[in-house]
Structure 1
């Protein structure tokens, strides 16, 4: 019963967050100065009659709170809105999600494999040159802005060395995704590595590790079975949360490498002042963050029995 109440409370809290954040985004997009309907005419101004008709068609003549209520009602029917050119935002996103998901999962796998691997090596070689090199490398990776890394690697490996495509996804996976995935994964990889190292060092000095060694268990079994499980709790929590960031934080990289994903669609919608698309994509990304937040709680409870008590 306590577990059910906790789940209901958690879902209720996330629902409040969803309504609050989406309302703020909606207001920020549609309450800004300027008339998107008149902007449709470009160099040819629309007549007042046409402007009134279009505003009525897209419900822009209604109060802002009423527009938002209508938008939320549409979400329950799977409708993320319609652009001023008559295109469905949901259909636009559906054609772009595969690219974004492929890129995010590729970067996520790199974070898991390389990040945890470096963290384990760094912890087991504490104080050595290898440990210092890994720590220094992760600090550098975290300090350099992602767009600088992206442009630099693109220039070196795509333009100069011609090892990977410069832009686009024509070459398919993994060729077209490997370089942008590395760029996105660098920051998270550095965090995973340092987090794994710190957690491993903390658990290696714990009483249960000394007890296991005193019972004659092999060092590989002590580290691989007992230490790693407890050490990966904070790492797994971070990785689950980071997956949400990867799915929603690829706008800059998709722009640099011209990848036709959701991030690139969002960037184009902002430039074109297409409010419905901006709000629709933002809503979808918020849902992704909220779902990953629930997954974080589930993973934490699965790995740490104390959370379930």
Structure 2
């Protein structure tokens, strides 16, 4: 039995949809009604990391799990790892972040991810770590201003990021869950080239067939914008991350997706064409 967590999120949803037919799958969700696209026969179960009884129920009979946690500096990883070990889970594939490999990345989010990786490695269970660069789907946050004003606003628009298609992350995750040879491995996952926000804006303009304007945010403007959605410590972590990107820390490209899947990693243009409806006026 394979357990998928995060199935209403960007990567977990794609993992759930890509698992081969005939593989027993259980999906953990706080709200099962929000889970869409599960294969026929998949078992969707209500549960929460903070509810030990629900974790015990969900993990019963599970041998491999795909783990996504979202509460920065929280205890979700510790709660899951403890419950999984007690339930006899053998292998956990964890969604982490590429920044954990950068010794200059010392923000709250990266420290949390490093600590979460250490918890899993020390658990006695077998593990695989997926360390993606930023998701291409993060650009969906531009959609409201792009649709209403034909404007994209972002911080450090000329800094490059080798962002990755979440579908590529999911393809690697499925292989790690279902094939031998991935246990005890950590995979850094990137797109095929580093791109800037200004270049992404130009690419969207070409695909949409209309001009778009890129406006550079000042750090204080970005702080104010992100503060509408995140607590102050997370906002400061995001600003630290953006400064690292401006200094070139996120421009490196890895060939891991191609090596593991047998096909090149998807470009931003490929991702954008598949999600163009999100950026259209209607």
The TM-score range, normalised by the shorter chain, is under 0.3
TM-score, normalised relative to structure 2 = 0.23
Higher strand proportion, which one?
2
TM-score, normalised relative to structure 1 = 0.21
Higher helix proportion, which one?
1
Greater Rg, structure 1 or structure 2?
1
